[in-house]
Structure 1
Amino acid sequence: MTAQPASFSSVFSQALRGTPCLVVGLGDNVRLPVARWTDDAGPDDELLLAQCVGPTLDIGCGPGRLTAALAARGHVALGIDVVPEAVGQTRERGGAALHRDVFDALPGEGRWRTALLADGNIGIGGDPVALLRRVRQLLDPRGRVVVEVAAPGVPDSTCWAALECEGVRSRPFRWSVVGVDGIDRLAGVVGLGRTAVRRTEERWCAVLEECA
C-alpha cells in the first residue's frame, strides 16, 4: 500500500506519541529512536550535557529531555522546535520551549553561551554551513556550539529523507550527516574552531568556539 502524504510536523507528532516511525532515505530505513528521546536524559547524554556552559539554547529540542536536564542542573535553558507536539512535551517536563525555527527571530540573540545540536541536529535543513553561520549569530562571542557528530569513518552527506508512520509519509526534507572527520572543515568555513572532541562507546560530540 502506498503511504499517504502528510506534513513533517504531523508525522513526527505521531512518533512522539508512541507510533513506530521509520526514517526513509538515509541508506537503509532506520527506526526513529523516539523511546530514547521521550525518556529522561541518561548516562550517555552526560557526554553532551557536561560540555554546556551558561545559558543554553537546545536547537531541535524534540520532547525536551536535554532541555529539562539542563534546567535541573541550574542552567538557563530554552528549547526550540518546529513541531508543536515537541514543544508541548518539553513544557510538560518542566522545560522552557518555543515553537520556532532556528532561522526565526529568537530571544537572547548574541547572548547565548552554548548552542546545543544533539541527536544529529547538525543535519537540520541539509546545509550545515548555513546552520552553523546562524548559530554563530546567536552566540555570545565567548560562546560555544556543542555538536553531536557521527563516528570516525562516516562520510559527510546530504540527502532527501522522509518520516513514515502507520501508512503516512511526511513530505521530503533535506537532511545532512556530519562525522567527526568532517566537522573541522565545516567549522572553519564559518570562523569556528574545534576545541574538544568527547566520546562514549557509541556517541561523539565536538565543541566549537570562535577562532582566536
Structure 2
Amino acid sequence: MTYALRPAAFDALLTGRTRSFVRDDGRPLLLDAARWRAVADADDAWLLDRCTGPTLDLGCGPGRLVAALAARGVPALGVDSSFVARALCRRRGAAMVCRDVFGPLPDEGSWAHVLLADGNIGIGGDPVRLLARVAALLVPGGTALVEAGPEPREFWSGTAQVSGSARRRVGAAVPWACVGAEALCALAGTAGLIPTACSATAGGRTFVELSPVVG
C-alpha cells in the first residue's frame, strides 16, 4: 500500500471500497488490499526470513508484516500516513507511527532492514530519492528489501489516482512510480545501493535485496 496517497484515498483502498489505482497514462494498477488486511502468508516468507534485526516497514498499512516479525521475536515498526492504517495496526497489536517517509522517523540510521513491500517502491514518484532515503535509515551493513513490479524492465514515473466504481476518481492524483526488478537493480547504484539477492514467489511477486555501497 502507499502512504504517498492522501489519507482519504488511501482509506478507500484499505477498507476495500476499491482496488483500482489508475496511472496518468490510463493503465490501472490493481492493489490487493485483502492481502494487506490478512495475516502474512507464504509469499511473504522470503522478506520475513531476511529480517534478522530491527526492521522498519514503510507504508505498512494494516501491519501484517510488522505483526509477523514481532511474532518471530524481531523488533519491527511500521510507518504509514493513514489514520485507518493506524487503527488497523492497533487492532492487530502491530507497532506503528503515523508519519511521512520523507519526514523525521524514529531511530534513523539504526535499522537493520527497511521494507518496501506491496508496491511501495512507488511512493513519491521518484524511486531514486526514495531509495536514498531508505539508505539513510539503515545501519551500516543493513539491507533494503523491496518488492519490484511484475514487468522486469519497467521504469514508469508519473501520477496515479484511486478509482472507485464506474471509474470515479477518489481524491487527488499523487506522484507514483512502477519499477521492475531489472530496472530497480540498474538504478539502485544512483541511491548508493547495490543488489545482493533476488527472489520470485510462487504467487508471482518479485523481491530484491539491496545493500549500501561500502567505501
TM-score, normalised on structure 2?
0.90
Give, as a single letter, the amino acid of the residue that structure 1 aligns with 2:160: A
Q: CA RMSD in A?
A: 1.7
Aligned to 1:130, the other structure's residue is in SS state helix
- Residue equivalent to 1:113: 112
Unaligned runs of 5+ in 2: none
Aligned to 2:47, the other structure's residue is in SS state helix
Aligned to 1:182, the other structure's residue is in SS state helix
Give, as a single letter, the amino acid of the residue that structure 1 aligns with 2:6: F
- Residue equivalent to 1:207: 209
Give, as a single letter, the amino acid of the residue that structure 1 aligns with 2:211: E
What aligned pairs does 1:70-149 form with structure 2 within 5 A after superposition? 70-149=69-148
* Percent identity (aligned): 44
Does the alignment pair 1:16 with 2:18? Answer: no
- Is the contact between residue 47 and residue 199 of structure 1 (CA under 8 Å) also seen in structure 2? no
Deviations along 1:154-179, whole A, 9 cap, x unmatched?
Answer: 41111210012355512000111111
Aligned to 1:63, the other structure's residue is in SS state coil
Take 1:30 and 1:123, find their aligned partners in 2: how far apart are those partners? 11
The structural deviation recorded for 1:24 is 1.5
Unaligned runs of 5+ in 1: 1-6
- Residue equivalent to 2:185: 184
Greater helix share, 1 or 2?
Answer: 2
Does the alignment pair 1:35 with 2:27? Answer: no
- Is the contact between residue 161 and residue 169 of structure 2 (CA under 8 Å) also seen in structure 1? no
- Residue equivalent to 1:51: 50
- Residue equivalent to 1:156: 155
Give, as a single letter, the amino acid of the residue that structure 2 aligns with 1:14: A
TM-score, normalised on structure 1?
0.91
Deviations along 1:20-47, whole A, 9 cap, x unmatched?
Answer: 3321226432443111111111111112
Change beyond 3 A, Cα 1:14–1:184: closer
Q: How many pairs does the alignment contain?
A: 206
Take 1:110 and 1:28, find their aligned partners in 2: how far apart are those partners? 37
Aligned to 2:158, the other structure's residue is in SS state strand
Aligned to 2:182, the other structure's residue is in SS state coil
- Is the contact between residue 62 and residue 81 of structure 1 (CA under 8 Å) also seen in structure 2? yes
Deviations along 1:53-91, whole A, 9 cap, x unmatched?
Answer: 200000000111111111111111000001111122112
Take 1:150 and 1:30, find their aligned partners in 2: how far apart are those partners? 10
